[in-house]
C-alpha cells in the first residue's frame, strides 16, 4: 500500500451536504447577477451540466463536458466568461466555509500520513475547477500542496462511481490500484474503488448508504478506527 485517497465532503470536511449545496447555488446565482445572468437559469444550467459530468464516459475531460453543455444553453460566448466563473471560487465561494464543520481528527490523520511519506490524493468528485477543490481542502486544515494529486474537472475524464475514475487516479500515480486505499463515506460512490481493485475504508461518522448495503465485510469506523487500520497497513 503506497497511496491514500481521501474523499472530501463528509470525510475530510463535515457538512450537511444539502444545506451546503443550497448555499452554494445561492452564492453562485448572486455572484453573476451583476454580469447579466438570470440566477434561476444559471443554476439550472450548472445543475444540468454537473449531472453531465457525473455520467461522463471518458471521451472528454469533465471540463469540456461542462462547458460544451453550458455553450449549448448560452451559446459559445459564455466561454469568454470562464475566467469569471473561476474568480467566483477565489472570492464569494470562500464564505461558504461558515456552513461547514471541522474535524481535528481528519486534519491530524492527513498530517500523520504526510509525515510518514505516504502519497496523498484528494479524490473528491471532480466537478469543480482546481480552486474550488483546493479552497475546500484548506477548510479542512490541510495544505493543498501536501496532496500529490487533486482531482478536478480539468484533469479527470470520469466521476464517481465510475470505475474509470479510480483507474485514472492509479494511472496518474503510476501505481497498481491494489497499492491504493480509498477513504470515504459514500458506500456507492467511494465503494466503486473496490471494483477498480483498490482497498476501501468507509468512514461511518457521516455515512451515506442509499441502498442499505451490508458493509460488515468492509473495514469501517470513525477516525480512531481508521488510524488503527492505517497503522496496521504501515502507512503511518
Class of domain 3-15+101-232: alpha beta
Domain extent listing, the chain: 3-15+101-232, 18-96
Q: Which long-range contacts (CB under 8 A, 24 or more apart) does 48-51 make?
A: 48/73, 49/73, 50/127
Q: Over the stretch 126-155, which tens digit does the pLDDT of each residue have?
A: 999 999 999 999 999 999 999 999 999 999
Neighbours of 221 (CB within 10 A): 15
* Residue 92: band (very low, low, confident or very high) from pLDDT cuts 50, 70, 90: very high
* Residue 121: band (very low, low, confident or very high) from pLDDT cuts 50, 70, 90: very high
Neighbours of 44 (CB within 10 A): 13
Mean pLDDT of the residues in the chain: 97
Query: Alpha helices, DSSP H only, in 75-203?
Result: 82-90, 104-115, 130-139, 163-173, 192-195
pLDDT at position 108 is 98
Residue percentage of the chain with pLDDT more than 70: 100
Amino acid at each position: 500500500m503506497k497511496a491514500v485517497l481521501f474523499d472530501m465532503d463528509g470525510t475530510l470536511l463535515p457538512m450537511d451536504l444539502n444545506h451546503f449545496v443550497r448555499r452554494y447555488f445561492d452564492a453562485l446565482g448572486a455572484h453573476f447577477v451583476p454580469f447579466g445572468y438570470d440566477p434561476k437559469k444559471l443554476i439550472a444550467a450548472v445543475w444540468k451540466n454537473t449531472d453531465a459530468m457525473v455520467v461522463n464516459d471518458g471521451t472528454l475531460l469533465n471540463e469540456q463536458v461542462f462547458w460544451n453543455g453550458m455553450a449549448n444553453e448560452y451559446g459559445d460566448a459564455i466561454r469568454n466568461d470562464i475566467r469569471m466563473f473561476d474568480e467566483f471560487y477565489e472570492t464569494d465561494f470562500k464564505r461558504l466555509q461558515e456552513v461547514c464543520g471541522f474535524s481535528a481528527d481528519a486534519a491530524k490523520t492527513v498530517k500523520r500520513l504526510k509525515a510518514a511519506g505516504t502519497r496523498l490524493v484528494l479524490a473528491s468528485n471532480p466537478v469543480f475547477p482546481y480552486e474550488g477543490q483546493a479552497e475546500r481542502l484548506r477548510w479542512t486544515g490541510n495544505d493543498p500542496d501536501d496532496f500529490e494529486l487533486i482531482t478536478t474537472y480539468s484533469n479527470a475524464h470520469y466521476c464517481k462511481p465510475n470505475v474509470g475514475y479510480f483507474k485514472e487516479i492509479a494511472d496518474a500515480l503510476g501505481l497498481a490500484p491494489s497499492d491504493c486505499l480509498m477513504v470515504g463515506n459514500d458506500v456507492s460512490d467511494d465503494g466503486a474503488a473496490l471494483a477498480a481493485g483498490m482497498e476501501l475504508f468507509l468512514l461511518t461518522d457521516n455515512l451515506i448508504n442509499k441502498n442499505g448495503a451490508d458493509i460488515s465485510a468492509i473495514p469501517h469506523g470513525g477516525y480512531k478506527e481508521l488510524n488503527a487500520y492505517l497503522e496496521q497497513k504501515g502507512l503511518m
